[in-house]
Each structure stands twice: as C-alpha cells, then as structure tokens.
Structure 1
Amino acid sequence: MTAITTSVFELFKIGPGPSSSHTIGPMTAGYRFYNAVDDLNLDVQPDNIEIRLYGSLSATGKGHGTDRAVVAGLLGFSPDNVECEFLEALAEGSSHQFESGGISIPLSVKDVVFAEVENDFPYANTLLLRLRKGTEVLFEQEYYSIGGGFIKLKGQQEEIPRVLPYRYSNMDELKAILTDEGLRMHQAVLVNETAITGVSEEEVYEKLDAILDAMKLSVENGLSAEGILPGPLGLHRKAKRLYENSAQTNAADKFLLRLNAYGFAASEENAAGHIVVTAPTSGSAGVIPAAIYALEEDLGISREKVREGMLVAAALGFIAKHNASIAGAEVGCQGEVGVASAMAAGLVAYANGLRFWRVENAAESALEHHLGLTCDPVGGYVQIPCIERNAMGVVRAYNAYLIASVENEIFHKVSFDEVVQAMAETGKDMNSKYRETSLGGLAVSVPNC
C-alpha cells in the first residue's frame, strides 16, 4: 500500500460548520471553480451557472448548509476566510454576483439543484458545476467530497508522490519505524510534516497552536451560548447548563459532567454553523476540542504535551483515513465520531506520558466500541444525534485512556490496524440509508419537529 503523505493541516482545518463533507468541502469546490473560471478565455459569454448536488449532498444538503457553502465558494470565499454572518445571509436567499474572469452572473442559493441521491459517479457525494449560455455547457468541473473537507476533481492529474523521511501506511509500519529509529511517535510525525510543508518545526508548532486555540474557542463560545439552534428541530443548547450545574456535584462527577459539557459546547457551535476545526470532520468537531480543553483547563497538562498529543492524534486519523474512511457518507458515524474518539484517546494517553503501545491500545479500544455506528441525522441537521454523540465520544475516549493506562500489554488482543480494517468492512456492508442520507434509523424514527 502507498505511504501516507497527508499533512496535519489538511486533516485539521478551521472553517464553518456544520459538516466538513457537506459544508467545507463544497465551499472549497466552489472556490476552486471560481479560480478556474478566472483562468478561462471564453469566446461566448455565459449567462447562468448550473450547480447540481448528488448523493447525501442532495439528501441532507439543506440541513448541512451545502447550498450556501457552494455559493459562498463561487463568490470567492474559502472556508478559512468566510464570515458566518455572510453564510447566514446566503441561507436566507440573498442574491449576489458571480464575478470571475470578466464574467458576471447573478447567483443565490435558489440556483442550487438537489439532484439524485442514488447515482453512478465514482463517489456518491458529487458536485457538478457548469457555466452555460442558455442550456449550452461552456465549461464544467466535477468534484467529489470525500470526507473531512477533502475534495477530488475529476480528471485532475495525480500529484507527484511526496517522498517522506518516515514512510508508513498503517500502525504496524509506524511502530516498526519508531523501534528501528529510536523515535517517539510525535517526532516521526513532526519530521514528516516539515518535509510535506517545507516549514520549520517551530512554525509547525505555531500552526498547531492556532488550531488548538480555535478548538478551545469553539468550546468557550459554546459554554457561554444559550437558546435554540438553527433549523426546524427546535433543539435547545445544553452545554452552558451542564457546565454550570457540574459545580453542584462531587469531584468525580464534576469532571465527567464538564467533559460532557465541553463536547456539547463545540458541537453546538458546529451545529449553529459557527467556526470549528475538522477533527477529523466537522460532524465530530466536539470530541478532540473537549479532550484538549479538559487536559489544559482541568488537568493542568502543558501546551507542549498537548501539541505532541495532537501530532499523535493526526497519525491515528491518517491511518484511519488511508485504510478506511472518515466520511459518514462512506462508513457511517464510526468514521467520524468513532475515529475522533480514537484520536482523542491516543492524544490524552500520549499527553499523559504513556508509551506508544498504550497509546495504540487506547485508540483501538475507543474505535472498537464505535464499530457499526450509523450516520442518521434527524432532518438532515447535524444536531440529533450528532451533538450528544460527540459528548459520548470524548467520554469513551477518556475511558479508553484510563483502561489502557493500567492494563497488561500481553492481554490486549486487538490492534489498531485490525479495528480500522473492521471499520472499513463494516462501512462497505452498511446500508446506504445509514450513511448520512437521513433515510433510516433515528432520521425516520424521530419526528422532524
């Protein structure tokens, strides 16, 4: 299998919620189309843009804000520079002008077509963007949203493979490198990251600090917010109440309640369409931030140790993505909250100074007990069961860390690679109605109130 060449900052991306595959990815696709048009020299002046969404982008695109996201991208905004207020205005139907390459065309979310859910494209979540004169197609691009905000373009030339100092495709290969080279896990990831990005180790840590600060800010904003989340479900925020009421409990319950509150807080911010960090997706953007907030604010773990833990979490996310998927549309929520829980468990274990075999065991346990988890958002909104599921994911991550910290190594039977393989196979067998289409499970059992 080819070696993993993903950057830490391709996995952890700052952007608006509520979904990396349905919001950040489509916005990126629209932005790339906007830039591609700028390089065109058309003989015929187009008069309209065709925007078609397929797969779960169509099935749950309204609830995920996919229409406003792709339109924002077409208007020249990328996920890291768009204002939430602008996205909210787009959702309300405000009209703007697509202006690129000397072309000017009126554009709003009303121009987005929610097309076939079942389709024959290479990836279910496909966006088809076309410049047209009447019905004549002058230019088109076909994009695939493959999870975690990652986008593929049909016909795009494969990049020249990055040759990294430490080449691994799974956990067994990474452990062999650590043993042979006498490295700690974060050191190998850091060396590879400097090779990928061409920046210094200090700059990598500076960028990690920006990611960590954004994660903690999403928790803090969620802890201070009240009211009802956007959309027809009428779901009330819970994070602030959980946090405030935790003071009335005993010490053990207080920590557990606060951990839950942090998970709710970041996830509620994501559900509101506010700024979060994909970790590894937006739908799972509450798990790792909750763990980090608890580590630094409740347990006094240093930022240095947390940075190192983040690099380890990234490696776990790389392996899951490389050998299975982190997309709910491909493998269900086991690939989103399940992988996030594994990453958080590994992060907490590593930040607390555990050896790499205990780190692996913690990550494996967390993912193992998310196997088979479906993605069935009620009404297509990243709210029920997504928000509470993030809180459960971070609690399970912490529990996996606790068990791994004291267990006997020789009695642990399942490896991280084995559980990732199980997740991939489970995802293949999972009925499409449980993979982010809102056609099964809670999505049909719970009334869209």
Structure 2
Amino acid sequence: MESISVFEIIKVGIGPSSSHTMGPWRAASFFLEYLKKREKITEVVSITTYLFGSLAKTGWGHGTDVAVLMGLSQEDYLTIDTTAIRQKADNIIQSGRITIDKHKTIDFNYKDHMVFDFDQSLDFHPNGMRFVAELSDGTSITREYFSVGGGFVVTHDSDHVAQNPIVTQYPCHSAQDIESYCEELNLSISQLVMMNEMAWRNEEETRSEALTIWSEIKKCIFRGISKRGILPGGLGVHRRAADMVKKLMPGQTFLTVEDLIKAIRLGSHDFNTVNKWVSTFALAVNEENADFGRIITAPTNGASGVIPAVLMYAYCFTPHFGEEEIIKFILTAGEIGTLYKKGATISAAMGGCQAEIGVSSSMAAGGLTEAFGGSRAQVLQAAEIAMEHHLGMTCDPIGGLVQIPCIERNCMGAIKAITASNIAMGLDIPTALVSLDNVIKTMWETALDMNTKYKETSEGGLANISVNISEC
C-alpha cells in the first residue's frame, strides 16, 4: 500500500468543503490538463460538467459549481484572492464565456453546461462528476472524476489515495505498524513520522512545511476574529468569533495575531475562559471556511477548525509550548489522519460526520498528547478515545451549507480532543480494551451501515428542519 505524506492530510485549502469545493476545483483543472496532454484544448467548443450524488444534492450550498468554474478558468485556490471568487464566477455566468486556456475562450451557458443530476449516482463514489468536452470536429472527450474527501481526487484509472504515492522506509498503514517500528527503532511517533517524511523532502523542509501550516493557522484565526456580518447562503448565520473576542477582551483591539496571542497569555486562565477561547478559535476558522476563505484542511474543510483550535489552545495556555512542540503535533496528527484515510474514510459522503469531525478530533488528540510528552501508547489511546465518542455522527447540513451544525461541531470536536488527551495521559494504558486500529475498523463498519440520507445529502437529520432564521 502506498504511503501518504502528512502534508496531504494537513494542508492549505479553501472553503467551504474539501470534497465538494477543493476536489471539484482540482478535478476541473485535471480535465484541462488531460485535454492539453492530448493536444485537444484548442479544438474545444464547449465543456459540460455533470455533478452526481452528494455533489448534486449539496453542491450549490458547498459552492461546487463555483469551484468547477474556477478550475476551468485555470485559477489556483492556493493563490487566488478569495474575496474575488464569487465575482469571477458571476462574470463567467453573466457573460456566457469562459477562458479555459491562455488563448482559448469558449461559450458557457450555466443552465446547459452545469448539470446537477439529483437522481443518479456514479458507482465508484457518491462524489462523482463527469466532464464532457465537445470538439470542433463533432466528437467529444469524456472523463469522470471522484472527490473522495480531503481534496483527494481519483479516476477509474487511478485509485491512488495520495497525490504523490511513495513507499516509505517504514510504512505505517495501521497503529500497530507505528507501535512496532517505534519499538524496534526506539523512536517517538513524531520521530518516526519525520524519518518517513524524508521520502518526500529533507528534515529541514519538513520542519519548514509544518511551521508554514502553523503560520497559516494563525493567519486564518486572526482573519476570523476580525470579521463580523452574516455568512453567505441564505440561512442568516451570523459570525460570532469577533463578538466572543470582544466579550473576552473588552475594550482591546489587536493589529496582529501576535498581539492577540500576547493578550490571551496575559489574561485569565480559568477553565471557563479557556473553554471559551477554544470555541472562539474553532468558530473563527470555520466561519472563514463557510465564506470561501483560505483555511487549513485537516483532514477536511468541514472539520478545519478542530486542529487549529487545539493547537492554538496549547500555544496560548500551556507552558513551554513552542516550535518543537508544534512540529511534533502536526507530524503526529497528520500520521493519524493517514490511518483513517487508508483504513476507513475521511469523506462525509461515505461515512457521515464521524469521518470529518471524528477524524480531526482523533488527529488533534494524538497530536496534543505527543506534543505534551505522552508515551506512544498514550498518543494512540488519545486518538482512539476521541474517535470512540464520535462514532455514528451524521452529516446533515441544513441547506447543504457548511454552517449548521458544522461550525459548532468543530468547537465540540476540539474540546473532545483536549479531553481525550487528558484522559489518555492519566490512564494505565495496558488496561485499555479498545485499540486505535479497532476503532478505525469500527468507524468504517459504522459508515457502511449508515443510511445514505445521513451522508452529506441534506436529506436527513437536521437537514430536514426548515430554518427561517439562524439558530447559530
């Protein structure tokens, strides 16, 4: 089995959904590359996109159509001005034209060329899409892609779970693999992960990448606590992070994220205050995510607030938590995420919200325990505990938007991760009855048993509620 870099699990992304926004965006780009490699791009007359299954049923709320337009326009979600996305999409729709290559602009009729097929699903995965390019000679080129969670995209021809698949020196496809190699080599989990990451880059580059993730986390939180207003989508959901900061720090303003961190560290550390800050961090990120903002996908966008909230909690409220601990956290959390990717799923369309919030909470719990100096057994047990208490969680977004209940669930996932770490570090580990491997297996079995209407279709659970005003 191929190995996955931790930086494919924890990476810079764009909201509101890794599977419904980032994945289709990448798929559209891949289709253009496919046409260019076959020297057909200049012959294209039109491109029609068909969205199936979950992509159709919740695609509008997740901005899937907008993402496809951006991908077909050769935009890069890592560099695009996120505030300009909706205007760029509107310009394409209103003009009826889309530029798919430097010197190639074609007609685009939104009604005809963006098809939401609510009644059909492709067999391979619920998040299926089909691109059909009509050529000037009357022939066509068709290609199907599947967005399998976390921004990962596959085809029928290539079911790689990683973008850059590599067999590492010490391949870890289970928690048992991790334990065995760590025992054999006398390494901590983060040390083992660092060794394996050298299959992609050297140690200095790995450390730099982890700190870049941390920098992006801080930027995202600061953007989130600096904005007020109503999130797009029609539910009337108000941003709350900025108001929570105002109540926690009355009369104070912050020009930079470092100013904010300094003030938090000098403020109250009582339980209630810390709890509120953890929720504030998570809200800040997921409010950015809901507004097409740039976030950290970890392992998905719907769960993008959990790891930032836990990491910022540790940085602000625990002693001696610096860059070394941050790197240990990210490497360990990312490796735990790969176990779920390979052994179960990180796609809510396949497994419900346990595959998103549950996995992110498990990742954060393990990462936090490693950073706090926990033993290998404690790290894996913390990850197990966090997932154990997310099993069966449904994905039921109201209106197909990543807002209710998604935003608040990130707050809960972060708190559960911290609690799981605290429990694991106080446990007599040999008495633990459930292993991380067993809980991953159970999570996948639960996903297979779960009714489809609870898997990101907006057909069950809270999604059945008619919301006239925001509940959030």
Deviations 1:401-443 (A, max 9, x none): 1111212223321111111111100000111110000000000
Code of the residue aligned with 1:227 in structure 2: it is: G
Once the two structures are TM-superposed, the CA of residue 276 in structure 1 deviates from its matched residue by 0.4
Conserved in 2, the CA contact under 8 Å of 1:56 and 1:125? Answer: yes
Kindly provide the amino acid, as one letter, of the partner of residue 107 in structure 2: P
Which segment drifts farther, 377-386 or 137-146?
A: 137-146
1:21 aligns with 2:19: yes
1:262 aligns with 2:281: yes
Separation of aligned partners in 2, 1:399 and 1:413: 18
Alignment of 1:34-113 (within 5 A): 34-42=32-40, 45-92=43-90, 93-95=93-95, 96-100=97-101, 103-107=104-108, 110=111, 111-113=113-115
After TM superposition, the structure 1 stretch with the greater mean CA deviation from structure 2, 45-54 or 176-185, is: 45-54
Contact 2:133 2:142 (8 Å CA) reproduced = yes
Quote the Cα distance in structure 2 between the aligned partners of 1:408 and 1:447: 47
CA distance in 1, matches of 2:153, 2:374: 35
Letter aligned with residue 39 of structure 2: N
> What does residue 271 of structure 2 align with?
252
Equivalent pair of 1:35/1:100 in contact (CA under 8 Å): no
Q: Show structure 1 runs of 5+ residues with no match.
A: none
**Which residue identity is paired with 1:170?**
S
Structural mapping, 1:263-342, within 5 Å: 263-300=282-319, 301-342=321-362
Give the match's secondary structure for 1:139: strand
Query: Residue 212 of structure 1 aligns with which residue?
Result: 214
1: CA distance, partners of 2:30 / 2:110: 18
- Return closer, same or farther for 1:173/1:43 CA change in 2, 3 Å cut-off: closer
Q: Which amino acid aligns with 1:202?
A: E
CA distance in 2, matches of 1:160, 1:443: 36
Overall identity of the aligned pairs, in %: 36
Q: Report if the CA contact (8 A) 2:121-2:128 is conserved.
A: no
Q: Which residue of 1 aligns with 2:448?
A: 428
Corresponding residue for residue 175 of structure 1: 179
Instruction: Tell me the alpha carbon deviations over residues 358-399 of structure 1, each in whole angstroms, 9 at most, x when there is no partner.
Output: 111111111100000000000000000000000010011111
Distance change (3 Å), C-alpha of 1:108 and 1:74: farther
1:122 lines up with 2:142 in the alignment: no
Measure how far apart 1:174 and its partner are.
1.1
Distance 1:371 1:157, change over 3 A: closer
Cα distance change on mapping 1:135 and 1:333 into 2, 3 Å: farther
CA distance in 2, matches of 1:366, 1:135: 57
Matched residues in 1 for 2:50 and 2:71: separation?
Answer: 14
Shift in CA distance, 323/43, structure 1 to aligned 2, threshold 3 Å: closer
- Counterpart in the other structure of 2:242: 240
**Does the 8 Å CA contact 2:288/2:295 hold for their aligned counterparts?**
yes
Partner of 2:196: 192
Q: Tell me by how many angstroms 1:145 deviates.
A: 0.3
Q: Secondary structure at the match of 2:78?
A: coil
The equivalent position to 1:402 in structure 2, one of 413, 422, 435, is 422
Q: Which runs of 5+ in 2 are unaligned?
A: 251-267
- Give TM-score scaled by structure 2 length: 0.89
Aligned partner of 1:350 in structure 2 is 370
Q: Which amino acid aligns with 1:106?
A: D
8 Å CA contact retained: 2:378, 2:425? yes
Residues 45, 103 of structure 1: 8 Å contact kept: no
User: 1:218: Cα distance to partner?
Assistant: 1.2
After superposition, the Cα gap between the structure-2 partners of 1:346 and 1:135, relative to the gap in structure 1 and judged at 3 Å, is farther
Deviation of 1:135 after TM superposition, in Å, equals 11
